[in-house]
Amino acid sequence: MDFQTEDAVADVIAGAEDELVDDIVSFGRDHGARAREDHALFVDAFRNGRIPGLEPAG
């Protein structure tokens, strides 16, 4: 194979490393916030018996 993925990626981000880092950090923060929101929704639904087939312990 005469193609190196790492070289292609390096060529694309050359000179835009700071923007790439900013985008990755932003994605990570957004994903973390969404995961926390989803977890809160799941816990609420579970505790209130709104997930068919699952019952809270206790």
Residues of 35-51 as b/e, b for ≥16 C-beta within 10 angstroms?
A: eeeeeeeeeeeeeeeee
* Contact status, residue 45 vs residue 51, Cβ threshold 8 Å: yes
CA 12 from chain centre, in angstroms, equals 23
* pLDDT tens-place string over residues 1-57: 788 999 999 999 999 999 999 999 999 999 999 999 999 999 999 999 999 988 767
Domain count, the chain: 1
* pLDDT tens-place string over residues 25-37: 999 999 999 999 9
- Whether residue 31 lies inside any domain: the answer is yes
Query: Containing domain of residue 38, as a range?
Result: 12-46
- Whether residue 27 lies inside any domain: the answer is yes
